Amino acid sequence: MEADVHNTNAPVENGSLAPVDRLRHERSDSPTPGLVEGTEPGAGQDSAMFVHAQSFEDLTADDGEQEQELSEEGTDGTLETQEQESGESRDGGGESGEAQDTQAEEEQEDEEAQSSGGRDKEEDVTSEAWRRHRKHVFVLSEAGKPIYSRYGTEEALSSTMGVMMALVSFVEAEKNVIRSIHAEDYKVVFLRKSPLVLVGVSRTRQSERELTRELLYIYYQIISLLTLTQLNHIFQHKQNYDLRRLLAGSEHLTDNLLRLLDRDPGLLLSAVTCLPLPSSSRDVISSSLQAAKAKSLVFSILLAGNRLVTLVRKKDQFLHHMDLHLLFNLVGSSSSFREGEGWTPICLPKFNTAGFFHAHISYLEPASDLCLILVSTDREDFFNLSDCKRRFLERLRRRSAYQALQEALRTPSYSVSQVGIAELRHFVYKSKSSGLYTSPEIPIPYQSEEEQERLMGLYQYLHSCMHHPTRPLRSIYRCGERENLLAWVTSGFELYLCFSPLGTKEQAMAAISKLLKWIRKEEDRLFILSPQTY
Amino acid sequence: MALRELKVCLLGDTGVGKSSIVWRFVEDSFDPNINPTIGASFMTKTVQYQNELHKFLIWDTAGQERFRALAPMYYRGSAAAIIVYDITKEESFQMLKNWVKELRQHGPPNIVVAIAGNKCDLSDAREVSEKDAKDYADSIHAIFVETSAKNAININEIFLEISQRIPVVDSGGGAAGKGFKLRRQPSETRRTCC
């Protein structure tokens, strides 16, 4: 097979590529041989709720990256890495391979940087603390005008951004495109999305593609506020327009989105997680939402914090994960929806970059986490949608489902110990066909903010290995000082597991089928199996 | 007791405290770290005025420039508009004058205008004198008060004054009874919702 050929030809620099026969052996040993897309645990019974996005390749597809074709050759392989006591890194990610200790060290430094500089916009951009932030993001116009900076004020950075634009223009003058610059500890990634230029400067282990994808999220965040049509119009009119005027008051949305990108596995996996709920209750909620429809309604979404309770959509209309994540971010980063009923234009860029939807956003009860988003095409339809909400609530309260929902909100999601697999600390499982993922509560060793981000960093690293543009993997096992990691990808699912460092590889391999069985047993509760339409 | 619905919208520059005024009025609470309003927010509160109940349908609009074009949707059909400025920011007072101009040109003819000089608890940092603002308000026959949402100064009063200024009988075609439409101009019959 081509894939194997590719693998044997691959440079053996890491000394850890599994021999081909071993590979075959492990493949046939696959815990769920017949498991293909659409039948994996968590797969929806009817149609999917989302635009079918298999993985993040789909998300970057509109970048027009040639890498796309390369990755579609579908090279499969198994890569094992073993981190030595010496801390010598031997993982297969090549450029992204850094020893864990170094990373930990860096994080500590970063923490210091954070505590001295904080997220204070006023921080000194010439200081060492500013330089040591793990990930910088800059947005500028093609005229080189600053639009957004994650740290420090845009004014103070105008010359820096000028240099960035100069670099972009310089390379473009030769009819070329600058993608990234790789320095010793840094990656500088450029995303050119006319009329904007986005630049990420990262000291993390994320691959260039992952960083580009994050920049794309930021780009879409801006589009969701303005529409691409309006953005183009503005810059066609006045090339050196200061876009910050129009984005005023939205900086916290971008800040929060960047935090989500560092912490939420959903954005990494192009998937959404659900509030665990008995399927009977969820069905009642869905059908109540379905009954409370209006002509102009396209999507009705009920959220519990950053988890989805249910989503009802107009027939034939699909929501893209990215758009849903932007809605999550909008709701999650704004206390302004806490009181009263919000009514705001919003562009869902993956649906249509040209126009606005109008979203009715309100919490079911003032102090609850349940937030209802009703997405409509008519900007004058507020009171109609307000009435939809009232009808939905009435229906819900008449039935016992509301009780169950409140109950589910109060109880913690589930702990990994309920799965009953020794040494397993945490996992993330994504069903590809439904675009939904499930994950237990973050266990004790990872509960602090830094540790949570470190865990996410590990998953990000695994993810970038699995989705490597030229050499994607089907599985990877990696031993570290602080944890052992295993990732497993099939056509039906993606699974990332984190074990204690005392676990063995055999245990880890055995865990996969055990975990899949458990998820299958619990899928009614953990996933939305029968999505509704109006 | 008769119930009248009064549609009121809040206008003004970003960060002057429109939402804080509404929160203070409706919930009697104050959050110093409130995020900027996105789009607009709708709340209601019913108060007794003489022998009537006045149900305020309040549209709290976002002050940012990108939402400017949406404002007509909210002030059309309003019985009253509260235009807010920040007494510690001269610029926001200039913005208020623009809002008054826009209302005169495009707003409903009988709209009651109230001017609120918010953040009067910060008088040390004052940039707009009370007299200038009062003179300006008188010149356009608007209600004027300095308010503090933080210390709950003059918040209920401004709504009370609006109740007083609203014509007793629904002569202007008022917002009463038609709370189900964002706009009520009879000429615009397309895309009504009911």
Q: What average pLDDT does the structure give for chain A?
A: 81
Kindly tell me if the per-residue pLDDT of B75 is higher than 50. Answer: yes
Which pLDDT band, with edges at 50, 70 and 90, does A36 fall under? low
CB proximity B181 to A under 8 Å: yes
- Report the Cα–Cα distance between both ends of chain B, in Å, rounded: 27
The pLDDT value recorded for residue A96 is 39
**Is there a contact between B182 and A380 if contact means CB atoms under 8 Å apart?**
yes
CB proximity B45 to A under 8 Å: no
Which pLDDT band, with edges at 50, 70 and 90, does A35 fall under? low
Q: Which residues of A touch B179 (CB under 8 A)?
A: 383
Kindly tell me if the per-residue pLDDT of A274 is higher than 80. Answer: yes
- The dihedral built from the CA positions of residue A407, A413, A417 and A419, taken in this order, carries a sign that is positive
Q: A497 φ, ψ to 5°? A: -125, 145
Instruction: Work out the average pLDDT over B154-180.
Output: 70
Q: Over the stretch A364-386, which tens digit does the pLDDT of each residue have?
A: 987 888 999 999 999 899 999 99
**Is there a contact between A336 and B34 if contact means CB atoms under 8 Å apart?**
yes
Which pLDDT band, with edges at 50, 70 and 90, does A31 fall under? very low
Beta strands in A330-468 (DSSP E): 341-346, 357-363, 370-376, 424-431, 436-438
CB proximity A345 to B under 8 Å: yes
Which pLDDT band, with edges at 50, 70 and 90, does A403 fall under? confident
Distance CA B11, CA B67 (A): 11
Which pLDDT band, with edges at 50, 70 and 90, does A46 fall under? low
Which pLDDT band, with edges at 50, 70 and 90, does A498 fall under? very high
The whole-angstrom distance between A377's CA and the closest CA on chain B is 12
- Give the number of A-B residue pairs with CB atoms closer than 8 Å: 92
Most distant CA atoms of chain B, gap in Å: 51
Instruction: Work out the average pLDDT over A166-193.
Output: 91
Strand partners, B8: B58, B80
Q: Which of A245, A380, A383 is nearest residue B191 as measured by Cβ atoms? A: A380
Q: Which of A249, A340, A359 is nearest residue B43 as measured by Cβ atoms? A: A340
CB proximity B5 to A under 8 Å: no
- CA-CA distances (angstroms) from residue B174 to A65, A171, B5, B106? 58, 62, 9, 17
**Is there a contact between A336 and B37 if contact means CB atoms under 8 Å apart?**
yes
Beta strands in A11-134 (DSSP E): 78-82
Kindly tell me if the per-residue pLDDT of A63 is higher than 70. Answer: no
Instruction: Work out the average pLDDT over A462-487.
Output: 92
DSSP A466-507: HT-SSS--SEEEEE-SS-EEEEEE-SSEEEEEEE-TT--HHH
ipTM value of the model?
0.85
CB proximity A234 to B under 8 Å: no
The pLDDT value recorded for residue B186 is 43
**Is there a contact between A380 and B181 if contact means CB atoms under 8 Å apart?**
yes
Q: Over the stretch B29-55, which tens digit does the pLDDT of each residue have?
A: 999 888 899 999 999 999 998 888 999
Q: Which of B22, B31, B36 is nearest residue A249 as measured by Cβ atoms? A: B36
Q: Which amino acid is at A187?
A: K
Tokens standing for residue B147: 């308010």
CB proximity B190 to A under 8 Å: no
Q: What angle do CA A267, A273, A275 make, to 5 degrees?
A: 150
The pLDDT value recorded for residue A382 is 94
CB proximity A533 to B under 8 Å: no
Kindly tell me if the per-residue pLDDT of A79 is higher than 80. Answer: no
Q: Over the stretch A93-141, which tens digit does the pLDDT of each residue have?
A: 333 334 444 444 444 444 444 433 334 567 788 888 888 898 999 999 9
Q: Which of B19, B38, B43 is nearest residue A344 as measured by Cβ atoms? A: B38
Q: Over the stretch A333-358, which tens digit does the pLDDT of each residue have?
A: 888 888 889 999 999 999 999 999 99
- CA-CA distances (angstroms) from residue A336 to A210, A246, A249, A406, B18? 32, 19, 12, 23, 12
- Residue in B22, B193, B194 to test binding to A, most A beta-carbons within 10 Å: B193
DSSP B32-55: TTPPPP-SEEEEEEEEEETTEEEE
The pLDDT value recorded for residue B169 is 59
Percent of residues, chain A, with pLDDT higher than 70: 79
Q: Which of B14, B35, B42 is nearest residue A335 as measured by Cβ atoms? A: B35
- The dihedral built from the CA positions of residue B45, B46, B48 and B54, taken in this order, carries a sign that is positive
Kindly tell me if the per-residue pLDDT of A441 is higher than 60. Answer: yes
Percent of residues, chain A, with pLDDT higher than 90: 54
